[in-house]
A and B are shown apart, each in its own frame.
Chain A
């Protein structure tokens, strides 16, 4: 058996060798995004787990925790859960997606429109 010294939770977080690129001016922002994205992922995990519980309750009436781990979605359920994850990702990624839209179509500041409307 593994001796007590092997802490798999700590080992799972090991850093890959090689200097990490800096994407933001402030290194704190790198850490904040990494925490935020981990939480975004975990919320998706919770939603999928809740969906599993709902589906099992609907079909069986009562469940055990081992039912959750052995749950295998059929083709339709797999698609519905994929669509659910997709919808969730689109919702949380609204900001970055809107950055793309701003790149497609640059717009004048609303202040300029305000000036314009005064005159027409």
Chain B
């Protein structure tokens, strides 16, 4: 093959895994481990661009006509479409391929991490031991919505330990997102956090929040960029799972984000914090991993600890509104039933505006906006939101937000 310059690189191929940045607790991939993730990134791109459109064709050309003939009516919801599509040979084969790709991603990531588990755990200890910015509370119970199944088919989920005190759950979670998103979240998988920094600077220039709460922080992908952008602000990042917090803390410290305190806590009960403690309370791609009763409690607690003039922000995939075609709702629901995201379907059917009002906001305080991952587009792809979208994985989110009592404060000041 002749050498090509970037200008004539016309084929849509993901960047190589070598472009993924390393930090202080990264797993060190060998040649073949890199090649495995390269294969999966390319394969997932093929699935999204070439095979996914076959699902809609199968639906329009044979599944829907057969449904209409049998029932004498249109499908009434996404569940009826799913049951009908689950009998279609194309959709079944596509689903089986996609499930395998998810399982391979987990196997490949775990093999890479567990091969060097002692080294990774030792690196984490160096950053964690003796630091008061990591607070673990073993009495925190893993809620049923985190323990019922292993979310995203990640064996052991966020809270599993292969060895006592280990961080392999975090290291595996961190290393494989490249393969699932084709590099769409950037070198440190922090395109969501980078997007929040860009968004807040454009939305409220010069604002300096004093204290920020990140709920369901996982490995801190989306809070580290904010912590680096606001070095004088105190960040609290909570999660129920200790292994992932050990990893998150070590990762953040190694990246220089020393102003984040990682605390094992359940957001349904934030009673250790007084009313109005935080200027910013957020979740990023977390609420769909909770439950019908936990979600309103988390929002209500978040509202209580949020100060006046403070920001509440939740990033998620778009909700299933009446305007969204039922077919699109069905295909966006794939992960709920095929990739162990059991609350995904119900959560996306909620009207988040109603939920925010129930939590305490006035409807006039709410806003919605789109947030696209910010990545180094010289190397990493800009997430596209139209043709070839890998539903549920596109690095483009819907933000549900509100400023608490901001208008009242402004009126009072005038």
Chain A residues proximal to chain B, CB less than 8 Å: 1-2, 6, 8-9, 11-18, 20-21, 23-24, 30, 33-34, 37-38, 41, 44-45, 48-49, 52, 68-69, 71-73, 75-76, 78-86, 89-90, 93, 96-97, 99-100, 103-104, 106
Contacts of A85 in B (CB 8 A): 13, 38-39, 42
Q: Is B46 an interface residue (CB 8 A)?
A: yes
A31 to chain B, nearest CB (A): 11
| Cβ-neighbour of B337 out of A11, A13, A21, A68 (below 8 A) | A21
- Besides A13-B107, A18-B150, 14 other A-B contacts (C-beta < 8 A): A1-B118, A2-B118, A21-B99, A23-B92, A37-B97, A37-B104, A44-B35, A73-B18, A79-B9, A79-B11, A82-B42, A83-B13, A99-B93, A104-B57
A90 vs B50: C-alpha distance when bound (angstroms): 9
Does residue B4 face the partner (Cβ distance < 8 Å to A)? yes
Contact of B111 among A8, A18, A75, A99 (CB under 8 A): A8
> CB-CB < 8 A to B130: which residues of A?
none
9 tightest A-B contacts by CB? Answer: A82-B13, A18-B149, A23-B96, A8-B114, A12-B111, A100-B54, A103-B57, A16-B150, A14-B155
Most buried by A among B5, B53, B155: B155
Q: Which of B3, B107, B114 has most A Cβ within 10 Å?
A: B114
Q: How far is the CA of A44 from the CA of B163 in the complex (A)?
A: 32
Residues facing A in B79-133 (CB within 8 A) are 90, 92-97, 99-101, 103-104, 106-108, 110-111, 114-115, 117-118
Q: Which residues on the A side are within 8 Å of B57 (C-beta)?
A: 100, 103-104
Q: Judging by beta carbons under 8 Å apart, are A34 and B337 in contact?
A: no
Given contacts A45-B32, A72-B18, A82-B13, whether A6 and B155 have CB atoms under 8 Å apart is no
> Are B46 and A90 closer than 8 Å at their CB atoms?
yes
Are B38 and A12 in contact (CB-based, < 8 A)?
no
**Which of A24, A37, A84, A85 has the most C-beta atoms of chain B within 10 angstroms of its own C-beta?**
A85
Whether A24 contacts B92 by the Cβ 8 Å rule is yes
A97 touches B51 (CB 8 A): yes
Q: Give chain A residues whose Cβ lies under 8 Å from the Cβ of B342.
A: 18
Cβ of B72 under 8 Å from chain A: no
Question: Given the complex of chains A and B, what is the CA–CA distance between A99 and B55 in angstroms?
Answer: 11
Please tell me if the beta carbons of A8 and B115 are within 8 angstroms of each other in the complex: yes
Looking at the complex, which one of A2, A73, A100 makes contact with B163 (CB distance below 8 Å)?
A2
Q: Smallest Cβ distance from A97 to chain B, in angstroms?
A: 5
Q: Which residues of B contact A80 (CB under 8 A)?
A: 1, 3-4
Q: Return B72 CB to nearest CB of chain A, in Å.
A: 24
Q: How far is the CA of A37 from the CA of B108 in the complex (A)?
A: 13
Main secondary structure of the interface of A (DSSP, over half): helix
Bound together, the chains give a CA A37 to CA B50 distance in angstroms of 17
Q: List 14 A-B contacts (CB under 8 A).
A: A2-B118, A2-B163, A6-B163, A16-B154, A17-B150, A37-B100, A44-B35, A45-B35, A48-B39, A82-B16, A85-B39, A86-B46, A96-B97, A100-B54
- Determine if B18 and A75 form an interchain contact, defined as CB atoms under 8 angstroms apart: no
B146-202: which have CB < 8 Å to A? Answer: 148-150, 153-157, 162-163
Cα distance A119–B372 in the bound complex, in angstroms: 61
Distance, CA A86 to CA B46, complexed state (A): 8
Total A-B residue pairs with C-beta atoms closer than 8 Å? 167
Is A83 touching B150 in the complex (CB atoms < 8 A)?
no
Q: Of all chain B residues, which has the CB nearest A96?
A: B51
Residue of A nearest to B115 (CB): A8
Residue from B43, B61, B156 having most chain A Cβ neighbours under 10 A: B43
Contacts of B61 in A (CB 8 A): 103, 106
Q: Is B364 an interface residue, CB under 8 A from the partner?
A: no
Determine whether the beta carbon of A12 is less than 8 Å from that of B107.
yes
Q: Give the shortest distance, in Å, between B25 (CB) and chain A (any CB).
A: 17
- In the assembled complex, the CB of A91 is this many whole angstroms from the nearest CB of chain B, namely 11
Cα-based distance from A28 to B140 in the complex (angstroms)? 41
Q: In the complex, what's the smallest C-beta–C-beta distance from B113 to chain A, in angstroms?
A: 8
Tell me which residues across on chain A come within 8 A of B94, comparing CB atoms: 96
B149 partner, pick from A13, A17, A106, beta carbons under 8 A: A17
Give A87 Cβ to nearest chain B Cβ, in Å.
9
Q: Please, which residues of chain B bring their CB within 8 A of the CB of A93?
A: 46, 50-51
On whether A11 and B162 interact (CB within 8 A), knowing A21-B337, A23-B92, the answer reads yes
- Bound Cα distance A93, B43 (Å): 10
Q: Do the beta carbons of B31 and A68 come within 8 Å of each other?
A: yes
Are A45 and B39 in contact, CB atoms less than 8 angstroms apart? yes
Encode B42-60 as 1/0 by CB contact (under 8 A) with A: 1101100011011001100
* CB neighbours of B95 from chain A (8 A): 21, 23
Q: Report Cα–Cα, A24/B61, bound state, in Å.
A: 21
Contacts of A30 in B (CB 8 A): 96
Return chain B residues, CB-CB under 8 Å to A34: 100, 103
Could you tell me the distance between the alpha carbons of A83 and B10 in the complex, rounded to whole angstroms?
A: 10
Q: A49-B31, A103-B54 are in contact. Are A37 and B101 (CB under 8 A)?
A: yes
B4 touches A24 (CB 8 A): no
